[in-house]
Structure 1
């Protein structure tokens, strides 16, 4: 339709081809396809001149009106996407507020007051699509899927125990010594009894055991600080205990590489301006 209107304006295929940067044959073909579609002749064409037929005059007005409506729709659609508002459902692991997520959400809402956020801290795997979740903060390696993962930050992971525990039971010198110690098991991880460590630039594993199993990192930290055993845990979850010397890092030369925390979302959700705006905001705050 746009091509036909330019041809009518120029009354020339070659003139339209120059303006549209299309081959003359392409311009001619598009007009012919319109004539075939509407079962009428739109232009009288001779070797020397071109005139618009009565049907052509009618369709010129109709096409202009239709294209004007379409341009208006596209303008408002672009405008709507630029306005950050709407509802946003976010999940993150327990204790993740210690990573600055609460501050991140607070600052985002100050900038975009028309956004409404539902933030849930969950100690379980969530199915974003089935549960209607827009964005998840996830820690560790992510399985291949149709979801997109954008790196947000790195999390240091430590082996720690209380001074009281180490005084009574001794300090392990190698991760293999952990089999002789009481380990506190955090059940929310994928392989709770299989702990990782780094040696000779390799990631290795040791199977541990213990009398206490819990499904929250904060409980592991409290129990370890009370002298019940050794834990392997992200540093952010025990920062207060470290500052107060209630927990002490051990096996530091075998410390694993930092874990990635990622922003995970379905590409189909990006139609939500609030989600796209939040992702851009979060990544700019790293």
Structure 2
């Protein structure tokens, strides 16, 4: 057995609570796990695991040792898998999740090219605006918009997305253009009622992030009716620019207060530890990085 096998045995014992469970997890014999643990403890000169007939728990030193070596062992195993898979052709089912509106317009065209390039891959795309548990759902990769929670997932930043105020030309002809976020108090603003803080829009004012309270005669829980209401001149909307880019390009709405836009919202690809060593995931990450163009969104 190699030293890495001893480390893996120790990690499995700590994570699964017994030598028997660790042996089952690593597909090794109980005697082999016991020898690895004894060898490791002899090497470091201290007891790492308190053993009973039914349970095994790390000692105080063992717990600290576990937290130091686990990331290193994970990195080694991922490097080994990556090296082993470097020449393998992507195959199998690639399971992805992305926000409901973002997926069809931005992700599906890349998926189509990816599948043409790698015909042995099938893709299962699930659209959801929730931050789903990738491990529990068996997903390989997710596209996430917004600041990332501390989840232990690997992440690759793909860009950042603008948030803008917009309205129909007919609205601006009747009510004029606001020149400052504080002017919104005199305008009908279309509020999304399910936002975390409905009726509060974020801006950058005098170099600092500021929220401005807004209100109006029309509100909705979904963005689709908000866009329709803005097109028909019912008020001003507030949205990620990528969601209304076509409306802007078609001249159906115009942007306003662009000099006060808040900091762009980051967008990342995230995946569980170890998944990037899979040929199908690695190839898709490479294509995302080269194909997803988010500079002006």
Q: Do they superpose with TM above 0.5?
A: yes
- Counterpart contact for 2:162–2:241, Cα < 8 Å: yes
Please name the residue that 1:111 is paired with.
117
- Secondary structure in 2 aligned to 1:246? coil
- Counterpart contact for 1:98–1:236, Cα < 8 Å: no
Please name the residue that 1:152 is paired with.
158
1:170 equivalent to 2:182? Answer no
Give the deviation of 1:112 after TM superposition.
Answer: 0.9
- Counterpart contact for 1:217–1:237, Cα < 8 Å: no
Give the deviation of 1:192 after TM superposition.
Answer: 3.9
- Counterpart contact for 2:204–2:263, Cα < 8 Å: yes
- For residues 82 and 212 of structure 1, do their structure 2 counterparts lie closer, same or farther at Cα, with a shift above 3 Å needed? farther
Q: Distance in 2 between matches of 1:144 and 1:127?
A: 13
- Counterpart contact for 1:218–1:237, Cα < 8 Å: no
- Secondary structure in 2 aligned to 1:129? helix
Give the deviation of 1:79 after TM superposition.
Answer: 4.9
Equivalent position to 1:224, from 227, 230, 246: 230
TM (norm. structure 1) is 0.66
TM (norm. structure 2) is 0.63
Equivalent position to 2:279, from 263, 269, 273: 273
- Counterpart contact for 2:85–2:279, Cα < 8 Å: no
Q: Note the alpha carbon deviations across 1:136-161, whole angstroms, 9 max, x for none.
A: 21112222221222111222221101
Q: Distance in 1 between matches of 2:221 and 2:94?
A: 27
- Secondary structure in 2 aligned to 1:124? coil
- Secondary structure in 1 aligned to 2:137? coil
Q: Note the alpha carbon deviations across 1:145-200, whole angstroms, 9 max, x for none.
A: 21222111222221101122223333222112223322223356544432111122
Give the deviation of 1:98 after TM superposition.
Answer: 6.6
- Counterpart contact for 1:221–1:237, Cα < 8 Å: no
Rg larger for: 1
Instruction: State how many pairs are aligned.
Output: 216
Q: Distance in 1 between matches of 2:276 and 2:104?
A: 27
Equivalent position to 1:120, from 99, 118, 126: 126
Q: Which sits farther off after the overlay, 120-129 or 154-163?
A: 120-129
Q: Which sits farther off after the overlay, 88-97 or 184-193?
A: 184-193
Unaligned runs of 5+ in 2: 3-38, 40-79, 293-297
- Secondary structure in 2 aligned to 1:89? strand
Give the deviation of 1:80 after TM superposition.
Answer: 8.4
Q: Distance in 1 between matches of 2:265 and 2:149?
A: 14
Q: Distance in 2 between matches of 1:188 and 1:283?
A: 32
Equivalent position to 1:134, from 127, 133, 140: 140
1:85 equivalent to 2:94? Answer no
Q: How does 1:252-263 map to 2 (within 5 A)?
A: 252-263=258-269
- For residues 120 and 248 of structure 1, do their structure 2 counterparts lie closer, same or farther at Cα, with a shift above 3 Å needed? same
- Secondary structure in 1 aligned to 2:136? coil
- For residues 204 and 236 of structure 1, do their structure 2 counterparts lie closer, same or farther at Cα, with a shift above 3 Å needed? same
Q: Distance in 1 between matches of 2:221 and 2:285?
A: 29
Q: Distance in 1 between matches of 2:132 and 2:231?
A: 30
Please name the residue that 1:201 is paired with.
207
Please name the residue that 1:100 is paired with.
106
- Counterpart contact for 1:95–1:218, Cα < 8 Å: no
Q: Distance in 2 between matches of 1:214 and 1:125?
A: 23
Q: Distance in 2 between matches of 1:228 and 1:241?
A: 16
- For residues 220 and 123 of structure 1, do their structure 2 counterparts lie closer, same or farther at Cα, with a shift above 3 Å needed? farther
Q: Distance in 2 between matches of 1:268 and 1:212?
A: 48
Equivalent position to 1:285, from 267, 288, 291: 291
